[in-house]
Amino acid sequence: MRYGMFMQPSHPPHREIADGIEQDLRIIEWCDQLGFSEVWVGEHLTAPWEPYPACDLILAQAIPRTERITLCAGAYVVPFYHPAALALRIAQLDHMAKGRFICGIAAGSIATDFALLGIDAMAGQQRDMMRDAIEIMLRLWDDPQHEWTYEGKHWTVANPPPFLAFHSHMQPYQRPHPPIAIAGLSPRSDSIRYAGEQGFIPLSLTFNASYLRDHWNVMEEGAASTGRGCDRQDWRVIRDVFVAETDAEAKEWVRSSHWAGMWLEQNLPLLKAFDWLQFVKHDPAVADEDVDIDYLIDNLWLVGSPATVADMILETHQVLGGFGTLVVNKYDYGETPEAYRRSLELLANDVMPTVNSQVRP
């Protein structure tokens, strides 16, 4: 099993923008040094706890500060962009990274982002836009120099014929294009189903095991609908993980961290508003008011000593039927960077060797 990191990126609203980005870049450097296979960086427009609107600006700065780790858009929210311009932006970044890049794409999930851009999320406009955008980007990467027109539901793109010295020309470094991943959030995610239909990488956000099993079920259904196969080794599963020398130390760090603050101020109220608390419960009979930070530490998150966390990862792997990459959710480390780096070290040097000595494909 490989291990990577997912950055929303998460920071408390009082964190200075430049300071937060520097923290993210420092953690990416640590991950590179510790053998993490990849790091995913997200973007949002109207989320003060996930404050950055352009994931590739962070990835571009990470390129010269790292050597081996694959840098991943996690993900471009395609309704934020015109797809032709986005295709060329992605191709440029792929060249800058010399292929050390995965292109994650998402339809988006934040209601205020959609409201800002006038997108009708209730009608599923964002998902239609994602499908249109991918078709346009694939066409432009494959055939930039010939004249063609794509008429979609939300965009019509006319690739022009050459005029004097001017014509479309940019293609990605990786051919025919960088690996594409689709991030999914909702139960039985249509985005994950689409990943199966297209043969893309599925990236599942963190909820309980029964929720995640449904993601792989729809991945297989989507693949079967187009005569494709799909490989669990490609499946990225995002989990909240923190490791310390003892269970008590790990739990206390999480309990007092910005991680807990983000869940109290943003995530738990959001889950309650959408009636999604069921997806973090180990038992549907648990009362909503009992789902607090201590409940999540004990029943959802992977928090504890190296032995405890290794057991939790192995249990998750077994319950889900297997997956290829554990992707660790990153949170702002506050005033304790040493404890956060130590967690990453214990994961890389103690937890994952234990897991990989026991895990079976």
Say what the pTM is.
0.96
SS (H, E, C) 61-72: HHHHHCCCCEEE
Question: What residues contact residue 187 under an 8 Å CB cut-off, 6+ apart?
Answer: 211, 214, 279
Closest to 83 in 3D by CA, of 145, 128, 147, 146: 128
**Which pair of tokens denotes residue 244?**
């310390």
User: What mean pLDDT value characterizes the chain?
Assistant: 95
Taking residues 312-317, what's their average pLDDT?
A: 95
Question: What integer pLDDT is reported at residue 287 of this predicted model?
Answer: 96
CB neighbour list of residue 168: distance below 8 Å, 6 or more residues apart:
140, 144, 145, 159, 160
The alpha helices in 226-284, defined as continuous H runs, are 247-255, 258-262, 268-273
pLDDT score recorded for residue 37: 98
pLDDT at 186: 77
| One-character DSSP codes across 314-358 | HHHHHHHT--SEEEEEE---TT-HHHHHHHHHHIIIIIHHHHHHH
Please state whether 123 falls in left (phi above 0), alpha (psi between -120 and 50) or beta.
Answer: alpha
Task: Sort residue 174 into left (φ over 0), alpha (ψ -120 to 50) or beta.
Answer: beta
Q: Euclidean distance between the first and final Cα of the chain, in Å?
A: 9
The backbone region for 274, taken as left when phi is positive above 0, alpha when psi lies in -120 to 50, beta otherwise, is: alpha
Count of beta carbons in the 10 Å neighbourhood of residue 96: 16
Res. 161: pLDDT tops 70: yes
Half-sphere exposure of 80 (CA within 13 A, CB side): 21
Q: Based on C-alpha coordinates, what's the Rg of the chain?
A: 20
Scanning the chain, the segments in alpha helix (DSSP H) are 17-33, 55-62, 83-96, 111-117, 125-142, 190-198, 209-225, 247-255, 258-262, 268-273, 293-299, 306-320, 337-346, 352-358
In tens, the pLDDT along 17-69 reads 999 999 999 999 999 999 999 999 999 999 999 999 999 999 999 999 999 99
Residue with tokens 């990470």: 62
Tens of pLDDT, residue by residue over 195-212, are 999 999 999 987 887 788
pLDDT of residue 228: 96
Contact 174, 94 (CB under 8 A): yes
All domains in the chain, ordered by first residue: 2-253+302-358 (3.20.20.30)
pLDDT at 265 over 80: yes
Could you read off the pLDDT of 201-244 as tens digits, one per residue? 999 987 887 788 889 999 999 999 999 999 999 999 999 999 99
Amino acid identity, residue 14? H
Query: What are the angstrom distances between the C-alpha of 342 and each of 34, 54, 91?
Result: 11, 29, 36
> What 8-state DSSP symbol labels residue 267?
I
Could you tell me what percent of the chain has a pLDDT over 70? Answer: 100
